[in-house]
Chain A
């Protein structure tokens, strides 16, 4: 090329200068595990389905949700949402109302009649599920999606287990439960009612089942010995709540005392109020802080006029009254008697002291081990007996619907692997997206939306649902409060803040990639990424 006088070099763009060679650290796009997902006992990809809901694509959100949990409308009502406890947004203003959005999606799916997509192929294997509670239904759903033929044998007359016979209607309307169960049955799952399995091996041999998942729950009320006079009325919580499903409602009287401090005690007391009791008093031997019941349920119960007697044990029950002894907590937090007594009027006493598992169906199953009244299972939910898996309340764990749903899913995957002659190994987990990983500056202030609740007056006399769903605008707002912890949400920050134009935008849904020819490794993209989806890794030199 001819140059002008005194010019020896071509004019060129600096783009020929590959400044990427300066780099000692390289940015990389990563996925980190959002704390909600890490905390979810059902293993939901909460951040994932919220990202669809944020865009207003509710069906995609529901489909992503139900990949892990077939009961969103139930879950949106009865889950104790450990996801919200773990939510990073709690450190900014208040946790994202995950449960409320799930409630909304579940209801919308029922209203619109969305169905599960049946599996493309069927296997020739048959799996027996014992018990149509949350664990059994979840396992059946996942097994059916994997192509297996599933039969559920249920001892009771209707599906749901404790969701029907333990959780009151004002928390979970039965039409919601029935609709979500029906959708699972549409996948070809057969439920046989009033079929109590008493000899597992015989049932399996008879039906030609290749594997079994046991989830019979814990329906036997624990008793405590309480001296009682004649003509006293002592009931247990399981019996009271289950009989609410029948024609004859339990007769509890005007003054009802409930003994215990769990959620079941609250359910019974709130049910008693709705049945017309003037007084429903919960007697608990420890303090409010020590109470295992969840705070919001206690709040709702207090609003409805349920009374609580802390630090008290029942010493004697007579006709029309009980004697309680005051307790005091010792330095280890354990209640100790004080010798002070008090008399309360009571027409009936309901014991809500926990439940045991009916293990009679397991008699004679070789290899199966029982410990502390529950069945021992391995990390894959398999019992000591080959091909026999167990979950839900009959396996050792926290006894909630969500945990049971998680057990069902985990067991289904393990059963599928077992039937294929392998062992189920879950994939490696991403590193946790803790709050320190985020750049919270980029999140605008947006307070949580609260679901509307039923007026107190109607809560004392009817079994109408107390907590109602969000409407679309509030659900969308709530979904958009998600911080998307650990997962890129295409905010363009990395693309904007790079002083070297070394980030390439790939287009909607495609994310970004780095142009390592020019990236100098300054780390601005990583520190200005709101959600912690970029990591800096040392460059090998």
Chain B
């Protein structure tokens, strides 16, 4: 086709599957490059008929994570669940949505129960792997002591926290994972400082890193490939592991059910929710922002922040939230080479 008199462009690499880089699957790529979720053989750990709200981010995140873990373990695993939305909407007695062995005890003891299950498997000489899971309330508040103990003993459990930033099941109360300025039932948009306080913060992934456990990661339902990779990687490691997944809640955040993934995406793209990995106490990788946006574009889509945008001008707290994003971007190195 070409001869020496024609200035031929270097053939662009086909590594971009222009339609497949970010999608769940793609008819043009090899099976190995498709997400677990694209497979008709996925285990559907959390099957149909569950009572989660329309567009539930937690139902989605839980199926993403557990399906990936089941593939990684050849389905030889047990899940222990803390009390919370995920437990309530999947197992109204005597019905279950779980298609794997699944155990629920109390709100605050999922990490401890999982430790016990892992110990029992070891005693019985089985290779069955154990995952503990819960929402942010059961993890960062009520279950925190058991979680820290599990980390400190380096028990062979992957703990997954589905972080929807509040106690959504009981009527949207504040948790220690609720972001500043967000309105909840217990932090109403009233008074001189409406919404949640700008406290000192309690970001459990960093606390987990401080335990020097083998693996810590954050993930988001907006990046399925990244989420599945992290779960599969975690299942390849023994010892205490922690993954926290950002799962928007249409009800608690005050957003249309169709915006769940979009909100998760924007939370990452503005820098408010840093996505990173750490091994043995050191941060090893951060997911770069692809299309940076101001935090305002993320906040304004949610009714829990509506009080920040009343009266035609932005509340000064929007700038404070932006400062948090900017600090994340600097601390975790979230910008790509082009933007940094």
A interface residues (Cβ-Cβ under 8 A, vs B): 7, 9-19, 22, 54-55, 441-447, 449-450, 452-455, 458, 468-471, 473-474, 476-477, 480-484, 489-493, 495-497, 499-502, 505, 507-508, 515, 517-518, 520-524, 526-528, 530, 536
Contact = CB atoms under 8 A, between A and B. Distances in A.
Nearest to B34: A492
Q: Classify the secondary structure of A's interface with B.
A: loop
B23 A449 contact: no
A492 B35 contact: yes
Q: Is the interface of B mostly helix, strand, loop or mixed?
A: loop
B260 A524 contact: yes
Interface stretch (B54-62, B142-150, B161-169, B187-195): B54-62
Contacts of B46: 501
Nearest to A505: B40
Contacts of A470: 1
B27 A490 contact: yes
Contacts of A445: 16
A229 to B, nearest CB: 44
Contact of B48 (A14, A480, A497, A505): A14
Given A447-B12, A527-B258, A496 B37 contact: yes
Contacts of B96: 11-14
B233 interface: no
Contacts of B224: 496
B52 interface: yes
B1 A17 contact: no
Interface residues of B, number: 60
13 contacts: A14-B47, A14-B95, A19-B48, A442-B21, A445-B16, A452-B2, A452-B9, A471-B1, A474-B9, A496-B38, A501-B47, A518-B48, A527-B258
Given A476-B14, A496-B25, A501-B44, A489 B19 contact: yes
Interface in B1-58: 1-2, 5-9, 11-12, 14, 16-28, 34-35, 37-38, 40, 44, 46-52, 54-57
Contacts of B90: 14
Contacts of A523: 54-55, 256-258
Contacts of A502: 48
Contacts of B19: 54, 442-443, 480, 482-484, 489, 491, 530
Given A14-B48, A530-B19, 15 more contacts: A16-B95, A443-B18, A454-B6, A482-B19, A490-B27, A491-B20, A493-B24, A496-B25, A499-B56, A501-B44, A520-B257, A523-B257, A524-B55, A524-B60, A524-B258
A470 B1 CA distance: 7
Contacts of A13: 47, 49, 95-97
A9 B93 contact: yes
A452 B25 contact: no
B48 A491 contact: no
A492 B260 contact: no
Nearest to B44: A501
Given A18-B49, A468-B6, A496 B55 contact: no
Contacts of B316: none
Contact of B94 (A11, A476, A490, A500): A11
A469 B94 contact: no
A22 B37 contact: no
B48 A501 contact: yes
Given A446-B18, A492-B37, A499 B52 contact: yes
